[in-house]
Amino acid sequence: MTFSHQNIFCFGELEGRCRLNPLPLDRASPEGTRRILLRLALVCAASGAKHGRLLTQPLGVSRDVEQEQRKQVWKMSETSSIDFMEERIPWLREGWGKAMLLASFVLPFSGYLFMFWWVDRMHPYGAAMSQMALSILACIISYYVMRRTIYRLRDQCKLTHRLPNWTAPFYLAFVIAPFFVLMIHPIMVNGRRLLPIWAAIPLGLFFIVFGLLFRGSAMTGSGFSLGHAFGIYLVFPEDGIRVDKEVYAYLRHPLSAGVICIAIGFGFVRNSTLAILTALIYLIPILLEMKLEDDELIERFGDVHRRYMRETRAFFPHCQDFGRVLKLIFFRG
């Protein structure tokens, strides 16, 4: 099958209102079109319980069948995302390429952890100081990447449709790794006891589990793929789709809300005031990341995203929507 249209349209819903969202393609590629349709199908399947069933699904189908359809679409999307990554980063097809990509995350991550361990021992408030230092560095790098680097890469990749060799390792080492290590740093922090142990541990575990479920719900509802983890869709936004379904109908940044819950949970498990303070410092790069993401989406979608921002909170749902969000998180619809 050959697709000759330069734009593919999909239906998006926000609080029950339908609209057409254009998904431009740089080239009329059957493979690229298939990827977008698979990811669109994943979003529709994930949001079936709230916004209705897939158009191809007959009315009256059982919930078990619906869940099986979601699993099949998710598996197809993951296979497609691996092909997509290898298309944009050709050296990932090689074994050494996968090893280098893994090292690009593991080695910097280990280095950041060692830095935390070393600085935290030097001063009573070393944990807060090191967390603040790496948070500021993460803010500077994120700002430069979102405001400068991605636009240069988009111009550079228009003809090749491939990322430069340095891009994915750089993104893992200096964007992804710092954000993850900042999240887990509170579990390493010593300090004065904050709560009785019988209260601190269950509270911390609740926040951790809630954050993990929150992120899982957001990733399922958005069609999250490996391409997001490597920043590919920032350079090739035409290969992605805009999502405002599932948990995104109530929160603009559920993934960020999830990591903050996890960081706070680590702080309570460690049960110290300094650990909680360290977790709250993590809000600095997270809030900047949210602002940069909203600005980039406004640039791409204009008034559509501005209206979405007015009607949907960034971090916490409206009070009347809190029950629906909990239902999505714990029962997936």
Enter the pTM of the model: 0.73
pLDDT value at position 276? 95
The DSSP output letter for 176 is I
Cα(279)–Cα(118) distance, rounded to whole angstroms? 18
Residues 6+ apart with CB under 8 A from 145: 171, 175, 231, 234
181 SS3 class: helix
pLDDT value at position 1? 38
Pairing label, strands 17-24, 7-14: antiparallel
Q: Name residue 18's beta-bridge partners.
A: 13
Contact 32, 7 (CB under 8 A): no
Domain parsing of the chain, residue ranges: 101-331
Cα(37)–Cα(124) distance, rounded to whole angstroms? 54
The token pair at 82 is 């691996």
Cα(116)–Cα(287) distance, rounded to whole angstroms? 22
pLDDT value at position 60? 46
The token pair at 173 is 């080492």
Residues 6+ apart with CB under 8 A from 27: 161
The DSSP output letter for 15 is T
DSSP per position, 223-266: T--HHHHTTHHHH-GGGS----SGGGGTBS-HHHHHHHHHHHHH
pLDDT value at position 318? 82
pLDDT along the chain (333 residues), means of 10: 34 33 44 55 48 41 50 47 77 87 94 94 92 96 91 85 87 93 94 89 94 83 60 74 79 90 95 94 94 88 88 84 80 64
pLDDT value at position 224? 59
Cα(317)–Cα(252) distance, rounded to whole angstroms? 9
The DSSP output letter for 320 is G
Q: Which contacts of 199-203 are long-range, i.e. CB under 8 A and separated by 24 or more positions? A: 200/268, 200/269, 200/271, 201/268, 201/269, 201/271, 203/265, 203/268
pLDDT value at position 242? 74
| Residue from 239, 78, 241, 235 nearest 163 by CA | 235
